Amino acid sequence: MRHLWILLVAIGLLIAGSLSLIPHADSMALGNPEPASPLIRPLLAQPALSMAGLPSLLPEQPSAHGAKVLPSADEAAENSRFLSNRQYIDHAGELLRAQTQAFDRHNEHVRMRAVAYLANAAHWAGNPERDAVFATVDEAIQADNATTPSEARQRKSIAGDKVELFEILLREAPDRAAQLEKGAEGTWLQPILHHAHTRFDLFTHIATR
């Protein structure tokens, strides 16, 4: 019983550390290490490419009876085209590599949507642009834009993006993640990737118990 209590305390401290590093963690489903299904239907409210140009990637809501709403064949095809759209993939990377100084809630929300988009695109094993997605995620992680903002809140927010992006590689391309982690040894990126790996292992352990 004593060992179980110590384990629970340790898990609580790790989770608290995750929340302190990532300011937008309260908006994410941290308890679920599995990415959303690639058959999620994107809500194409704003198709134009801009800071607010990435469509929302919120999943369909369950019906009033609690049953899961499955996408139609047309919706699945539309979603597949969306997740393999090279313009969107490249644009998501641009948003996540951008140099910014002051914290801005709208900018953070757009970056969160970009991370969610790349997570869904990477999770689709049949995505013809999957290699491009992995390359985009890799480049966004390595972009040196987490140490340059003048405002600490913005530095922490961008570091949070990199944690979530690295978890995409840990989940979908572990060999690539290992290579990136090895190459980051001794650099500013090493503690960010170490934190991401620790958090990923923790949530994976909890989910598989």
- Give the residue, 206 or 48, on which the prediction is more confident: 206
**Per-residue pLDDT tens for 133-168?**
999 999 999 999 999 888 999 999 999 999 999 999
- Give the residue, 203 or 36, on which the prediction is more confident: 203
**Per-residue pLDDT tens for 29-71?**
333 333 333 333 332 333 333 344 444 443 333 334 454 567 7
Give the predicted TM-score (pTM) of the model.
0.69
What span, in angstroms and rounded, lies between the C-alpha atoms of 58 and 28? 11
- Average pLDDT (178-189) is 96
- Give the residue, 19 or 116, on which the prediction is more confident: 116
Domain boundaries, the chain: 2-56+74-208
What the block records as the tokens of 174 is 């572990």
**Per-residue buried b or exposed e for 157-181, using 16+ beta carbons within 10 Å of the residue's own CB:** bbbbbbbbbbbbbbbbbeebbeebb
Residue carrying the six token digits 């990377």:
93
On whether the CB atoms of residues 83 and 38 are closer than 8 A, the answer is: yes
